Chains A and B, each alone.
Chain A
Amino acid sequence: KNQVEQSPQSLIILEGKNCTLQCNYTVSPFSNLRWYKQDTGRGPVSLTIMTFSENTKSNGRYTATLDADTKQSSLHITASQLSDSASYICVVSSLTGANNLFFGTGTRLTVIP
Protein backbone atom coordinates (compact mmCIF):
# COMPACT_ATOMS: atom_id res chain seq x y z
CA LYS A 1 0.00 0.00 0.00
CA ASN A 2 1.33 3.42 -0.95
CA GLN A 3 1.79 5.52 2.16
CA VAL A 4 3.62 8.60 3.35
CA GLU A 5 4.38 9.01 7.03
CA GLN A 6 5.79 12.10 8.64
CA SER A 7 7.39 12.61 12.01
CA PRO A 8 7.16 14.19 14.40
CA GLN A 9 3.52 15.25 14.28
CA SER A 10 4.40 18.48 16.01
CA LEU A 11 7.54 20.25 17.10
CA ILE A 12 8.32 23.35 19.14
CA ILE A 13 11.73 24.99 18.85
CA LEU A 14 13.38 28.21 19.90
CA GLU A 15 13.99 30.91 17.36
CA GLY A 16 17.44 30.58 15.84
CA LYS A 17 17.69 26.83 16.37
CA ASN A 18 17.85 24.22 13.63
CA CYS A 19 15.42 21.37 13.19
CA THR A 20 14.85 18.34 10.98
CA LEU A 21 11.56 16.90 9.85
CA GLN A 22 11.24 13.35 8.60
CA CYS A 23 9.26 11.71 5.82
CA ASN A 24 9.16 7.97 5.14
CA TYR A 25 7.28 6.55 2.20
CA THR A 26 6.36 3.26 0.59
CA VAL A 27 5.23 4.72 -2.75
CA SER A 28 6.34 2.69 -5.72
CA PRO A 29 7.32 3.19 -8.45
CA PHE A 30 8.72 6.49 -7.27
CA SER A 31 8.60 9.65 -9.40
CA ASN A 32 9.35 12.59 -7.16
CA LEU A 33 9.05 13.93 -3.64
CA ARG A 34 7.95 17.40 -2.66
CA TRP A 35 7.95 19.40 0.51
CA TYR A 36 5.29 22.03 1.00
CA LYS A 37 4.96 24.74 3.63
CA GLN A 38 1.44 25.56 4.74
CA ASP A 39 0.73 28.58 6.89
CA THR A 40 -2.36 28.29 9.07
CA GLY A 41 -5.53 28.65 7.01
CA ARG A 42 -3.66 29.12 3.73
CA GLY A 43 -2.80 26.97 0.76
CA PRO A 44 0.40 24.88 0.67
CA VAL A 45 3.37 26.44 -1.08
CA SER A 46 6.08 24.36 -2.69
CA LEU A 47 9.53 24.42 -1.07
CA THR A 48 11.41 21.73 -2.98
CA ILE A 49 10.82 18.93 -5.43
CA MET A 50 13.30 16.09 -5.89
CA THR A 51 13.45 13.29 -8.41
CA PHE A 52 15.05 9.88 -8.02
CA SER A 53 18.50 11.08 -9.04
CA GLU A 54 18.63 14.03 -6.64
CA ASN A 55 19.65 13.50 -3.04
CA THR A 56 19.67 17.07 -1.80
CA LYS A 57 18.05 20.35 -2.74
CA SER A 58 18.08 23.69 -1.01
CA ASN A 59 15.73 26.64 -0.95
CA GLY A 60 17.23 29.34 1.24
CA ARG A 61 17.33 28.06 4.81
CA TYR A 62 15.43 24.92 3.82
CA THR A 63 17.40 21.86 2.71
CA ALA A 64 15.69 18.66 1.69
CA THR A 65 17.44 15.32 1.39
CA LEU A 66 16.28 12.16 -0.29
CA ASP A 67 17.47 8.59 0.11
CA ALA A 68 15.58 6.66 -2.54
CA ASP A 69 17.08 3.36 -1.39
CA THR A 70 15.66 3.59 2.12
CA LYS A 71 12.66 5.66 0.95
CA GLN A 72 13.32 8.43 3.39
CA SER A 73 13.45 12.18 3.11
CA SER A 74 14.20 14.93 5.55
CA LEU A 75 13.66 18.66 5.60
CA HIS A 76 16.26 20.61 7.54
CA ILE A 77 15.54 24.16 8.60
CA THR A 78 18.52 26.25 9.56
CA ALA A 79 18.45 29.22 11.93
CA SER A 80 14.70 29.09 12.37
CA GLN A 81 12.60 32.22 12.32
CA LEU A 82 9.17 32.95 13.75
CA SER A 83 7.82 32.95 10.19
CA ASP A 84 8.83 29.30 9.85
CA SER A 85 5.91 28.41 12.12
CA ALA A 86 3.70 26.37 9.80
CA SER A 87 2.80 22.85 8.79
CA TYR A 88 5.22 21.06 6.51
CA ILE A 89 3.76 18.47 4.19
CA CYS A 90 5.62 15.73 2.36
CA VAL A 91 4.06 14.59 -0.90
CA VAL A 92 5.28 11.66 -2.97
CA SER A 93 4.38 11.07 -6.59
CA SER A 94 4.19 7.69 -8.26
CA LEU A 95 5.27 7.01 -11.83
CA THR A 96 2.05 5.19 -12.59
CA GLY A 97 -0.53 7.59 -13.99
CA ALA A 98 -0.69 11.37 -13.91
CA ASN A 99 -2.74 11.68 -10.74
CA ASN A 100 -0.85 9.53 -8.28
CA LEU A 101 0.05 11.82 -5.43
CA PHE A 102 0.33 10.58 -1.87
CA PHE A 103 0.20 13.07 0.96
CA GLY A 104 1.65 12.91 4.43
CA THR A 105 -0.39 14.38 7.26
CA GLY A 106 2.24 17.00 7.97
CA THR A 107 4.45 18.19 10.81
CA ARG A 108 3.24 21.22 12.72
CA LEU A 109 6.28 23.39 13.56
CA THR A 110 6.05 26.18 16.10
CA VAL A 111 8.99 28.55 16.52
CA ILE A 112 8.95 30.51 19.77
CA PRO A 113 10.98 33.59 20.64
Chain B
Amino acid sequence: EAQVTQNPRYLITVTGKKLTVTCSQNMNHEYMSWYRQDPGLGLRQIYYSMNVEVTDKGDVPEGYKVSRKEKRNFPLILESPSPNQTSLYFCASSLLGAGPNEQFFGPGTRLTVL
Protein backbone atom coordinates (compact mmCIF):
# COMPACT_ATOMS: atom_id res chain seq x y z
CA GLU B 1 0.00 0.00 0.00
CA ALA B 2 1.32 3.43 -0.98
CA GLN B 3 1.74 5.47 2.15
CA VAL B 4 3.68 7.89 4.29
CA THR B 5 4.46 6.60 7.77
CA GLN B 6 5.53 8.53 10.83
CA ASN B 7 6.84 7.39 14.18
CA PRO B 8 6.08 7.84 16.93
CA ARG B 9 2.44 8.86 16.65
CA TYR B 10 2.41 10.34 20.14
CA LEU B 11 5.31 11.65 22.18
CA ILE B 12 5.56 13.42 25.51
CA THR B 13 8.99 14.71 26.41
CA VAL B 14 10.69 17.32 28.54
CA THR B 15 12.44 20.53 27.59
CA GLY B 16 15.91 20.02 26.21
CA LYS B 17 15.77 16.29 25.57
CA LYS B 18 16.72 15.62 21.96
CA LEU B 19 14.23 13.70 19.89
CA THR B 20 13.73 12.45 16.36
CA VAL B 21 10.48 11.89 14.51
CA THR B 22 10.90 9.52 11.61
CA CYS B 23 9.12 9.77 8.26
CA SER B 24 9.21 7.23 5.49
CA GLN B 25 7.44 6.94 2.13
CA ASN B 26 7.24 3.94 -0.20
CA MET B 27 6.17 5.76 -3.38
CA ASN B 28 9.64 6.69 -4.65
CA HIS B 29 8.75 10.36 -4.28
CA GLU B 30 11.50 12.89 -4.68
CA TYR B 31 9.88 15.67 -2.66
CA MET B 32 9.28 15.45 1.08
CA SER B 33 8.23 18.03 3.60
CA TRP B 34 7.49 18.59 7.29
CA TYR B 35 4.64 20.70 8.62
CA ARG B 36 3.38 21.66 12.01
CA GLN B 37 -0.26 22.36 12.68
CA ASP B 38 -1.47 24.57 15.49
CA PRO B 39 -5.03 25.68 16.29
CA GLY B 40 -6.02 28.71 14.28
CA LEU B 41 -2.77 28.77 12.32
CA GLY B 42 -3.25 25.93 9.91
CA LEU B 43 -0.38 23.97 8.40
CA ARG B 44 2.98 25.69 8.35
CA GLN B 45 6.00 24.29 6.59
CA ILE B 46 9.12 23.58 8.64
CA TYR B 47 11.57 22.11 6.11
CA TYR B 48 11.37 20.50 2.73
CA SER B 49 13.58 18.38 0.52
CA MET B 50 13.55 18.34 -3.26
CA ASN B 51 15.72 15.23 -3.43
CA VAL B 52 18.38 13.23 -1.63
CA GLU B 53 20.89 15.49 0.14
CA VAL B 54 18.87 18.59 -0.83
CA THR B 55 17.00 20.29 2.01
CA ASP B 56 15.76 23.81 2.55
CA LYS B 57 13.97 25.89 5.13
CA GLY B 58 10.26 26.42 5.10
CA ASP B 59 8.36 29.11 6.96
CA VAL B 60 9.11 28.05 10.55
CA PRO B 61 12.49 26.23 10.63
CA GLU B 62 13.83 27.57 13.95
CA GLY B 63 14.57 24.82 16.44
CA TYR B 64 14.38 21.99 13.89
CA LYS B 65 16.81 20.03 11.77
CA VAL B 66 16.27 17.53 8.99
CA SER B 67 18.33 15.20 6.87
CA ARG B 68 17.71 13.36 3.60
CA LYS B 69 20.29 10.64 3.20
CA GLU B 70 17.93 8.28 1.42
CA LYS B 71 15.03 9.03 -0.87
CA ARG B 72 12.46 7.26 1.28
CA ASN B 73 13.35 8.76 4.70
CA PHE B 74 13.14 12.30 5.98
CA PRO B 75 13.57 12.49 9.77
CA LEU B 76 12.76 15.61 11.79
CA ILE B 77 15.15 16.34 14.62
CA LEU B 78 14.54 18.57 17.61
CA GLU B 79 17.93 19.08 19.23
CA SER B 80 16.61 20.90 22.30
CA PRO B 81 12.81 20.86 22.34
CA SER B 82 10.95 23.67 24.02
CA PRO B 83 7.28 23.95 25.06
CA ASN B 84 6.48 26.16 22.05
CA GLN B 85 7.23 23.17 19.84
CA THR B 86 4.25 21.34 21.28
CA SER B 87 2.22 20.72 18.16
CA LEU B 88 0.84 18.23 15.67
CA TYR B 89 3.44 17.36 13.05
CA PHE B 90 2.86 16.02 9.56
CA CYS B 91 5.25 14.63 7.02
CA ALA B 92 4.24 14.75 3.36
CA SER B 93 5.64 13.60 0.05
CA SER B 94 4.96 14.14 -3.62
CA LEU B 95 6.42 12.90 -6.85
CA LEU B 96 8.24 16.02 -8.07
CA GLY B 97 7.85 19.19 -6.07
CA ALA B 98 4.87 20.29 -4.03
CA GLY B 99 3.40 22.69 -6.54
CA PRO B 100 2.41 20.59 -9.53
CA ASN B 101 1.92 17.27 -7.81
CA GLU B 102 -0.49 15.94 -5.22
CA GLN B 103 0.95 15.70 -1.73
CA PHE B 104 0.39 12.63 0.40
CA PHE B 105 0.39 13.23 4.13
CA GLY B 106 1.40 10.95 6.95
CA PRO B 107 -0.91 10.22 9.91
CA GLY B 108 0.67 12.84 12.15
CA THR B 109 2.78 12.92 15.32
CA ARG B 110 1.37 14.67 18.35
CA LEU B 111 4.27 16.08 20.35
CA THR B 112 4.00 17.53 23.85
CA VAL B 113 7.03 19.23 25.37
CA LEU B 114 6.77 19.82 29.12
A-B Cβ contacts below 8 A, count: 64
B108 and A42 contact, CB distance less than 8 A: yes
> In the complex, what distance in Å separates the CA atom of A93 from the CA atom of B101?
10
A79 interface residue (CB < 8 Å to B): no
- If over half of B's interface residues share one DSSP class (helix, strand or loop), that class is named, otherwise mixed; here it is strand
B108 touches A104 (CB 8 A): no
Cβ of B87 within 8 Å of any chain A Cβ, yes or no, is no
Q: A43-B105, A43-B108, A105-B41 are in contact. Are A98 and B88 (CB under 8 A)?
A: no
Cα distance A104–B50 when bound, in Å?
23
Name the one of B44, B99, B110 contacting A93, with C-beta atoms under 8 angstroms: B99
**CB pair A97 B102 closer than 8 Å:** no
Residues on A lying within 8 angstroms of B by beta carbon are 31-32, 34, 41-46, 49, 89, 93-95, 97-101, 103-106
